[in-house]
């Protein structure tokens, strides 16, 4: 199985960013289809995790420059 995660941040204004997270999963063997689909279902629930992780990172970066 191969997975890629694409994370794109777009500045909305000086204190706000828009975030788009895209997962792509595939497998060469059809026996992995159920696993790929199950991971896809779980990925849909990860929005809060991504939000917390990105906000923490951006806050830490801002604190380094202050």
In the chain, domain spans: 2-65
| Contacts of 39 by beta carbon, 8 Å cutoff, 6+ apart | 3, 23, 25
Shortest CA distance to 51 belongs to which of 4, 14, 18? 18
Rounded to a whole number, what is the largest CA-CA distance in the chain?
A: 52
Rounded Cα gap, residues 20 and 41, in angstroms? 17
Q: In this model, does residue 8 exceed pLDDT 90?
A: yes
Q: In this model, does residue 5 exceed pLDDT 80?
A: yes
Per residue in 13-61, pLDDT tens?
Answer: 988 889 999 999 999 999 999 999 999 999 999 999 999 999 999 889 8
- The whole-model pTM stands at 0.73
């Amino acid at each position: 199985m191969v997975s890629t995660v694409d994370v794109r941040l777009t500045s909305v204004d000086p204190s706000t960013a828009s975030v788009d997270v895209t997962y792509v999963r595939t497998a060469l063997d059809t026996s992995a289809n159920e696993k790929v689909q199950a991971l896809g279902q779980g990925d849909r629930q990860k929005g809060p995790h991504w939000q917390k992780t990105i906000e923490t990172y951006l806050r830490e970066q801002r604190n380094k420059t202050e």
